[in-house]
Chains A and B, each alone.
Chain A
């Protein structure tokens, strides 16, 4: 690989998402190996203050702060990123496979006619070659993929695939103005953003997931409370979403989201393959189920076979204690 690296920074409102630090870590690893320059690229409205934080993780921070980015339209963001690519000529663009990035980055790869690899979980460097790790079939096969000409590539990564590297760089900061092309054929009318500062389900370090065994939507309250204590999120199995107990946004599995938290706790989740495909890359999996034969136990690291409604209140108190000790 040769050439410089763009790390596209995905935001939550006007703060840097955790996954963006992971992307910067991936970029740092490539930078150190190939002696490239790492740029952190942030595009948005009211994002200028982020530069001081980001410069610790990159050789250069490019900030484009403009009111035109207040509302998301794919064309404005993509044309800005494209413009920066023309100006700084990187040969690799990295980003997360979440939020707006999962639309902006493929679009820019299309404009540039570059290669794209999406939803990667890592890479290995073999001499000059880079082999990118990409799970297929819900993680039942792992493929290693190469970009044929070794440059001009856009790469998006799955959250929680890299640990966040230490800061330690002291990048220069450049405020850039770019040419923004609006697409008159797509007109933004309105948006409603969800309230709350909760982490995105796919980015959460802690997920407590409820299945049919939760018996009723009201019983999810305790899962909410546990998630709150842990600073994590509640997930749901497909049957629970189909029964309209929980939102589709929370659905984990084949037809929902793929997650890889540090700790996943499945409560009354049977663990059909449709579900386990979505949690396979979690670091530690705990299953709580009254049925000792539930398939979830075949993928779990730790299991408790007992009545959920007895276990959960105790678990809540114990997690609270554990959290307070730290």
Chain B
């Protein structure tokens, strides 16, 4: 059985970021991390592997050379093999383009299961998984919080959608996106980290999986409008403060 986990390197949420004057790009501090939700996907794949014989877990990322780091993290956690589909630089990509490149890779490699995190924290789309499944013509279940493999051809999954819990039986091959709470991702041990440091990371051109052109284009970047400074509400007593707040919310903010 082969499980492919698609992982993404994203700009760390604490990295400095600002829009350039020409509005055509943004500059950022080079601080990256493995997308938070993808850690759960890697962990879940490893847990399935621990339960079945002959299971290979493959972590794959589409991103710049620097994205090797998240593949090394995956190796340190315990995946068997990794691959980098190398793009020029870190940027926000068209989701149909990303999903087509990844589906091209998956087709070439073959798979029984594809796992991904429920969304990436840079573009916040959360749609590449479902697109990928559609391009590959295999079943998809999103927001998965529990997976139970029945045999090499079928799996039972619990999905939490819209505040409800749904249970489905799914034939493999299939694509799943997992959400926080499905597991507790492991912390790599020293042996894993050593292995990751030494690992050779194979790299591919996106074009080796087909020629795809983005359907959308980012025309401009803007900085969000800055909120005016906070008004700290003064008052002699707590009652006075609350009363002042309520009247400001009514008269000034007009939200009550």
Contacts and interface: CB of A to CB of B under 8 A. Distances in A.
B125 A137 contact: no
Nearest to A285: B227
28 contacts: A74-B141, A98-B162, A103-B161, A107-B130, A107-B133, A107-B134, A107-B140, A110-B131, A116-B127, A118-B126, A119-B125, A138-B13, A142-B223, A143-B221, A146-B217, A148-B216, A186-B171, A190-B167, A249-B160, A263-B255, A283-B253, A299-B227, A301-B253, A302-B233, A314-B238, A314-B239, A315-B245, A322-B250
A259 B223 CA distance: 19
A106 B221 contact: no
B111 interface: no
A25 interface: no
Interface string B150-172: 00000010001111111111110
A140 B219 CA distance: 17
B163 A193 contact: yes
Interface residues of A, number: 90
Contacts of A139: 224
B92 interface: yes
A191 B13 contact: no
A11 B141 CA distance: 20
A303 B165 contact: no
A292 B230 CA distance: 11
A73 interface: yes
Name the interface size band of chain B: 35 or more
A14 interface: no
Given A301-B228, A311-B238, A137 B164 contact: no
Main secondary structure of the interface of B (DSSP, over half): mixed
B219 A145 contact: yes
A326 B163 CA distance: 31
B168 A73 contact: yes
Interface stretch (B68-76, B116-124, B187-195, B203-211): B116-124
Contacts of B138: 185
B167 A301 contact: no
Given A115-B216, A136-B124, A144-B218, A287 B17 contact: no
Contact of B161 (A100, A149, A274): A100
Contacts of A107: 130-131, 133-134, 140
A36 interface: no
B205 to A, nearest CB: 23
Given A106-B131, A140-B17, A303-B233, A187 B168 contact: yes
A306 interface: yes
A191 B157 CA distance: 12
B214 interface: yes
Nearest to A306: B238
Given A137-B122, A147-B216, A192-B164, 20 more contacts: A106-B131, A115-B216, A116-B96, A116-B216, A118-B124, A142-B221, A144-B221, A145-B217, A185-B170, A186-B139, A186-B168, A186-B170, A188-B167, A188-B168, A200-B163, A287-B230, A301-B253, A302-B248, A303-B231, A304-B241
B22 interface: no
A183 B139 contact: yes
A158 to B, nearest CB: 9
Interface string A186-221: 111111111000001000000000000000000000
Given A185-B174, A301-B227, A110 B161 contact: no
A141 B25 CA distance: 10
A243 interface: no
B92 A148 contact: no
Nearest to B232: A303
B216 A188 contact: no
Nearest to A73: B168
Interface string A43-85: 0000000000000000000000000000111110000000000
Nearest to A296: B230
Pick from A74, A107, A110, A135 the residue with the most CB of B within 10 Å.
A110
Contact of B222 (A116, A144, A248): A144
Contact of A274 (B13, B17, B222, B256): B13
Given A304-B245, A305-B232, A311-B242, A249 B255 contact: no
